[in-house]
Amino acid sequence: MSGSPLPSAAEGGGPPGGLYHERQRLELCALHALNNVLQRPCFTQEAADEICKRLAPDARLNPHRSLLGTGNYDVNVIMAALQSLELAAVWWDKRRSLERLALGQILGFILNVPSHVSLGFVALPLRRKHWLAVRQLHGTYYNLDSKLRAPVAIGGEAELRAFLRDFLSQGLCEVFLVVPRAVEEAGAWLSPE
């Protein structure tokens, strides 16, 4: 997972046309992954909390977010948020070859990956799940992980597939394809065998 870091568009740098990149705050990685894959600040914490309430209107303790109100949103919140924009999150079956991805039909990727936990500079022997986004701009795919200081260039299609393969091989990783709803319904995100 190598690549060259780039300053975010907000920092006045980045590739031609700019690249939107939100940095990690609280447990809002799902929110940051959504906004990073969409390349604009579409969703706020308040909007995500409202989605949680709609998903579980009668729940005293909402199962779709942290009990502390700091985020930690689950995949249902991501899916509902994307649906509100006529987009869909399609779960990638790890048994399929990544060569079958119809990359021209896919807006971006949201990954749920294991992440180390730390208190300040002290790493703890714990792992949690973390959401990150990958998006293409001008023919180059970028890792838009909110824990990174800046987006990191992955490369072209071959490098993207290697990047995804690396995460999937580590286990406990899920990949979701972000596609227009029409692409989801037609199954056009998957190339024929």
Question: Would you please indicate which residues are annotated as catalytic (active-site) residues?
Answer: 29, 130, 145
How many C-beta neighbours within 10 Å does residue 116 have?
12
DSSP structure class, residue 182: H
CA distances from residue 16 to 6, 8, 45, 51, 145 in whole angstroms, order as listed: 11, 11, 29, 34, 20
List the one residue out of 41, 44, 36 whose CA is nearest residue 135: 36
Count H helices and E strands in the chain, helices first.
5, 6
What's the rounded Cα separation, in Å, for the pair 113 and 146?
A: 13
Cα–Cα distance measured from residue 129 to residue 53, given in angstroms and rounded to the nearest whole number: 22
